Amino acid sequence: MNVVGEIKWYLDGDYAHLKFSEGAGAFHIDTVMVPAAHRGKGIGSKLINHILILADQLGKQVRLSARPIGNTSEERLQRLIVYYQRFGFYIEDRGHSIAYMVRDTPAPGEGK
């Protein structure tokens, strides 16, 4: 079974959201969108952390495809990669304008 979901954070008439799917062994973060006026406030990080906590509780990996929207420059992709590495993701595979990343579940007692 594959479950899909969305977490929304309402912001003064707008909202940030994270779309995800859950499979047998892993969650997959499909999109993380924060309105431009609200970026840099930690909202995206809080949305991502919700999925990471759930995945850890269920003993599942988290996967994502890091790719910039719009301008797909190497610089923008590198910024995304560094951003997701802060959460413990690492590159599993790499394309021209995309990085396939994974975060393993921490071992018991290891913490996040």
Whether the per-residue pLDDT at 111 is higher than 90: the answer is: no
Over residues 69-108, the pLDDT tens digits come to 777 788 889 999 999 999 999 999 998 889 999 999 876 6
- pTM score: 0.87
| For range 6-34, the mean pLDDT | 94
Instruction: Identify the structural domains of the chain with CATH numbers, from first to last.
Output: 3-91 (3.40.630.30)
For CA atoms 4, 22, 93, 112, give the dihedral sign: positive
